[in-house]
Amino acid sequence: MNILDLLQGQMSDGVVEQLSNQIRSDKERTTAAANGIFATLVSALSRNVASPQGGSALLGALDRDHDGSVLDDIMGFLSAGNRPANTRAANGLGILDHVLGGKTDNVVQMVSKSSGLDLLKTGQLMQLLAPMVMGALGKAKRQENLDAGGLAGLLSGTVSKASQGRQDMGIIAKVLDADGDGNVMDDIAGMGMKMLGNMFKNR
């Protein structure tokens, strides 16, 4: 199973249109930004579970809050008409804080720059998509009966496969390793933002 494939499979025309309407953007920029957000969050999760403590923490979060049911009705979830009873499952801001920590602003800058979506809309889209990422991982955990080691293998395998055909994954890794000075462009200068933007759009 590939988590990025699972997530991108959820992005039907209807879902993209609804996301675009909610953040008031066009479909092309929304799709480009969404692909960048998915790749970045999956990369960050893979790094987080590399330690035993991180793996245990993710396993606990999935068991408590993310059973994958959010993917059963994405349209309803996005319209707030079918929100999970567990509010933590839909708390995009809280998920981003746990997954990205102090790198959230860096990621917003990177995705905004590469997709052409402005910073505010990029941040809004990240909050909408974060529960989908955790839901996809929760669904995979449940279907495959994964433990912490299995989750780590699934995430690292997804990132490894994506890295084979996507040079942007190296840029994402650099952003996640950034020095925290708040200016992500200092950390990825010269790494080809136009190329990165085109890769996001073509996924």
- Quick one: pLDDT band at residue 69, thresholds 50, 70, 90? confident
The pLDDT value given to residue 118:
94
170 vs 180, residue with greater confidence = 170
Predicted TM-score (pTM) of this structure: 0.84
Token duo for residue 157: 């395998």
Is pLDDT of 184 > 50? no
Is pLDDT of 202 > 60? no
The pLDDT value given to residue 89:
78
168 vs 45, residue with greater confidence = 45
Q: Where in the chain are the domains?
A: 3-201
Is pLDDT of 4 > 60? yes
The pLDDT value given to residue 137:
94
- For range 41-64, the mean pLDDT: 90
Q: Fill in the DSSP letter of residue 178.
A: -
The pLDDT value given to residue 34:
94
The pLDDT value given to residue 87:
75
Is pLDDT of 198 > 70? no
Helices (H), the chain: 3-9, 13-23, 27-48, 52-65, 74-78, 92-100, 104-115, 119-144, 148-165, 168-176, 184-187, 193-201
User: Which tens digits make up the pLDDT trace of 107-146?
Assistant: 999 899 888 999 999 999 999 999 999 999 999 999 999 9
The pLDDT value given to residue 27:
94
The pLDDT value given to residue 168:
67
Residue 101: which residues within 8 A CB-CB, separation 6 or more? none
The pLDDT value given to residue 131:
94
CB contact at 8 A, 191 and 171: yes
Instruction: Give residue 91's region: left, alpha or beta (phi > 0; psi -120 to 50).
Output: beta
The pLDDT value given to residue 83:
64
187 vs 34, residue with greater confidence = 34
